[in-house]
Amino acid sequence: MAGYPNVNAANKYARDVVGGRIPACKWVRFACKRHLDDLVKSKKRTGKWRFDKDEAEKVCRFAQLMPHAKGKWAAKAELIVLEPWQKFILCSIFGWLSKKTGQRRFREVYCEVPRKNGKSVLAAVIGLYMWCADGEFGAEVYCGATTEKQAMEVFRPAKQMLTRTKKLVKAIGAEIMARNLSIPRDESRFEPVIGDPGDGSSPSCAVVDEYHEHPTPALYETMMTGMGARDQPLMFAITTAGFNLAGPCYIHRSQVCDMLNAAAGIGDQHNEEQFGIIYTIDDDDDWESPTALRKANPNFGVSVSEEYLLRAQANARRYPSRQNAFKTKHLNIWVSAAHAWLNMSDWAACGDTSLNIEDFYGKPCWMGVDLASKSDITAVALVFRDKVESPEGSGKYKDRWTVFCRSYLPEGAVERASHNQKAYEGWVHDGALLTTDGDETDFDVVRDDIHDLAELFDVKELVYDKWRATQLAHQLLKDGANAVEFGGGYHIMNMPMREVEAALLSGRFRHDGDPVLTWMAGNIVTREHKGCLVPMKADEGKTNMRKIDGMIAILMAMSRALLADAPQEDTVSEHLEKHGIRTL
């Protein structure tokens, strides 16, 4: 094979990204730096991996023999021309081999790319290559998704590419059916799969498209477990960002981030057989800037036009209801709901993992208790208030809020969870989610914990939801707690919600980075009633995947804290306006 133009372009791309000549977020920089570092390591006798230029070049040349399947390029019958970033991904996946076995290094691949950047074309090419050009006898390639329409987004362009490449069809003896591509001589097949495929398959390659839409990891895990009989299978997940921070895709993404951090010398969770790349912007980037568009979209000016992105960005700036959709689909920023209440970047900025609840022993606080049904999450929150100088100075001081939350779930509910089980299990393991024995929440455990907390802190009031906590409140009253029933109309919840918004923006809000509370904060969407915010779950009345109990407990406690120093003659709105909180 004379020359390696694609490999050279891929390596140049990696050098340009690391050198800052191509704008890229840290995850892309880390992926490129890992590749360059491994090239150096591969020259040493102790290195486990080697980079095979022939294998890397082969897959790129195969890709560029395929015709475009849609758009203006398909209309002109043009062949695919890989961009440098696509060459980097393909060369990385197929070029790295084990020195010991000669088999491919990477078995799991995670690519997160914004919309309109040609990710389905890349997935279709990989599926076709693994089906007919990888040398796997009886190859089984599946493109899986949650719906038939989504599964066909990869299968359809693959089928169209094959149909328009007559020489390839003849050479391999392919048979092309509506929902199946096959090679009769060795029974290789390529077909779409919808939902949970069940056991029995032996995939050599599985393409999981738009993984963020999967409510459970069932399809992914079934495909992975079915690959045991294959020598060098490939699990290829390609997706945009999404909204569910407790879903399998975000959990998988977090593992990829840990791996990339470790490869860059930050942390130790380095999975050497996993490849990941995430095109997005960095935390300190301005999402409203034109630079952000180029940074997050690797096919900027190619398959996605500058004009299109600038128009979408302008609409998101003009209409707040469109911001989260724009951020997830065009900047690959994960948010927790399509119309979320809080900006999760602001929430993250107010997280402080060095906060220690023991440092608050003896200090005054307000406690909120949100009791769920016996098989759901119960939350107990502590809200502390102190004064900090306002940003404008001049000796003015404003309230600063520090919150901690305990979340409880019965063990049986963790085992039965249909959507959030993996997240629950991880949080239980890390101590972020507390469990009680059995299939129902043991409220005696909650009561005992509340009693213990009351001994450690100066609890001014214990605020409870009148709809569920009446019995517990009566018990706590007998214990000597100053229990206060929460209620009084929609405007009561508006008060703390407006204050949380303002406090987050000005840095007057602190939490300890509790992942369960962060998930819940992102799950709140709002509707307005007579100018007042009303909190709701993002999936209200639907799957009930998202929980908001911890944030409700915090808001209940804050509502009482806000009114604690109000003179008797003040009305609610007068008192709040004195504190700079917008009301009707």
Question: What percent of the chain is predicted at pLDDT more than 70?
Answer: 90
Query: In degrees rounded to 5, what are phi and psi of residue 485?
Result: -75, 135
Average pLDDT over residues 119-129: 94
- Residues 266, 272, 273: CA angle, nearest 5 degrees: 140
In 10 A of CB 173, how many CB atoms? 12
CB 462 within 8 A of CB 475: no
Check residue 338 and give its pLDDT.
60
Q: What is the domain partition of the chain in residue ranges? A: 5-278, 347-578
Residues 6+ away with beta carbon under 8 Å from 386: 399, 400, 402
What span, in angstroms and rounded, lies between the C-alpha atoms of 76 and 62? 20
Check residue 74 and give its pLDDT.
73
- Tell me, letter by letter, the H, E, C secondary structure of 327-374: HHHHCCCCCCCCCECCCHHHHHHCECCCCCHHHHCCCEEEEEEECCCC
CA 4 to chain centre: 36
Which candidate, 159, 164, 153, 73, places its Cα nearest to that of 119?
Answer: 153
Specify which residues 141 forms β-bridges with: 190, 205
Check residue 266 and give its pLDDT.
86
CA atoms within 13 A on the CB side of 82: 28
Name the residue with tokens 């509707």.
527
What's the predicted TM-score (pTM) here? 0.71
CA 83 to chain centre: 26
What the block records as the tokens of 431 is 């101590």
Burial bucket for residue 556 (CB in 10 Å: 0-12, 13-18, 19+): buried
As a whole number of Å, the CA-based R_g of the chain is: 27
CATH, range 347-578: 3.30.420.240
Amino acid at the residue 215: P
- Bigger pLDDT: 11 vs 537: 11
CA distances from 73 to 65, 68, 69, 568 (A): 14, 6, 8, 73
Check residue 392 and give its pLDDT.
59
Q: Do domains 5-278 and 347-578 have the same CATH topology?
A: no
Name the residue with tokens 């495929």.
197
Burial bucket for residue 461 (CB in 10 Å: 0-12, 13-18, 19+): buried
Check residue 580 and give its pLDDT.
41
Quote the mean pLDDT of the chain.
Answer: 88
Question: For residue range 93-108, what is the model confidence (pLDDT) as tens digits?
Answer: 999 999 999 999 999 9
pLDDT-derived band at 139 (thresholds 50, 70, 90) equals very high
Which candidate, 212, 247, 284, places its Cα nearest to that of 523?
Answer: 247
Q: Please state which architecture CATH assigns to domain 5-278.
A: 3-Layer(aba) Sandwich (3.40)
pLDDT-derived band at 570 (thresholds 50, 70, 90) equals very low
Highest mean pLDDT among 271-285, 389-403, 409-423, 533-547 belongs to 271-285
What span, in angstroms and rounded, lies between the C-alpha atoms of 410 and 569? 45
Question: What percent of the chain is predicted at pLDDT more than 90?
Answer: 63
- Residues 111, 230, 240: CA angle, nearest 5 degrees: 15
Question: For residue range 154-167, what is the model confidence (pLDDT) as tens digits?
Answer: 999 999 999 999 99
pLDDT-derived band at 402 (thresholds 50, 70, 90) equals very high
Question: For residue range 415-448, what is the model confidence (pLDDT) as tens digits?
Answer: 887 778 889 999 999 999 999 998 888 888 999 9
What span, in angstroms and rounded, lies between the C-alpha atoms of 199 and 172? 29
Residues 6+ away with beta carbon under 8 Å from 242: 212, 213, 249, 250, 328, 334
What the block records as the tokens of 144 is 């899986």
Which candidate, 154, 124, 110, 118, places its Cα nearest to that of 278?
Answer: 110
Average pLDDT over residues 267-284: 90
CB 526 within 8 A of CB 341: yes
Check residue 321 and give its pLDDT.
62
Residues 6+ away with beta carbon under 8 Å from 259: 269, 270, 271, 274, 276
Average pLDDT over residues 395-401: 85
Lowest-pLDDT range, 13-17, 554-558, 579-583? 579-583
- Tell me, letter by letter, the H, E, C secondary structure of 222-249: HHHHHHHHCCCCEEEEEECCCCCCCCHH
